[in-house]
Amino acid sequence: MNTDEYDYIVVGGGSAGCVAAARLAQAGGGRVLLLEAGAAADLNPETLSADGFKEAFANDRLMWDRMTAPQENCSRRALYAGTGTGMGGSGAVNGMVYTRGDRQDYAQWPTGWQWEDVVPVFTELEKRLRPRPRAGSHFTDLFIRAAQSLGFRRKDGMNDGDLNGVIGYNDMNYAGAFRRSSYVAFVRESPPKNLTVITRARCQRILFQNKRAVAVQYERDGRVGVARAAKEIVLCAGALETPKLLMLSGV
């Protein structure tokens, strides 16, 4: 069993994990480890291409296919709940729509995470992501006009937090023929020297000592490794894998 020590360990190289790992490495100067269950992006070029999502969704190297339990309010049908894997996570296989969301959603979050609190953070992230307005199309214009006939208000600019009853063109996170995921913007373009990325590392559990998370046990190429964290472990494994990892760790 291999054991290495870092200052910070980030589990999950998706949309949040890439930002967290890069910012920790740039801010603190300590050793940061980013563990990702999927493969490196160079082995999955469709995750770097603006039109690669068409192939990515049909690729089991990039999608973890899951079905929900039967849903009572959907005629007891099981629904698809797949997520992306590999560097960039679901943000490397989705349709590249960029939105900050609605201020009403943040109003339900704890103090310190309201719309006014997060806008400066969005602004800072967007300097690296560089989202741009979506190009117009005849079909989308027809759809927007149809929505207007039903009472929706057309709006230019969908990132001011007021999305109730409006319709318009979203921003997109690509530049030319290339996707600008958080992996590309925060890790690939200017990788911090003190950031180590290990791909194909499936985390098995968090190890605790006196109720403090101190290490991550993971499997890679059939071998088990342990990475120890001198300071913190940050879980960014997604909405489904993060709670699963906590449960496997006895939390």
Q: Where in the chain is the domain with CATH 3.50.50.60?
A: 1-96+173-251
Structure tokens at 163: 């999305």
d(CA 12, CA 202): 9
Q: Is the CB of residue 14 less than 8 Å from the CB of residue 94?
A: no
Q: Report the DSSP beta bridge partners of residue 213.
A: 208
pTM recorded for the entire structure: 0.89
Tell me the chain's radius of gyration from C-alpha atoms: 20
pLDDT confidence band for 68 (50 / 70 / 90): very high
The region, left, alpha or beta by phi > 0 then psi within -120 to 50, assigned to residue 130 is left
Structure tokens at 143: 């759809």
For position 78, what pLDDT does the model report? 96
Mean pLDDT of 168-187: 93
CATH superfamily entry for domain 1-96+173-251: FAD/NAD(P)-binding domain (3.50.50.60)
pLDDT digits (tens, 9 = 90+) for 27-45: 977 999 999 999 999 998 8
pLDDT digits (tens, 9 = 90+) for 106-163: 999 999 999 999 999 999 999 999 999 998 899 999 999 999 999 999 999 899 999 9
Q: What one-character DSSP code corresponds to residue 4?
A: E
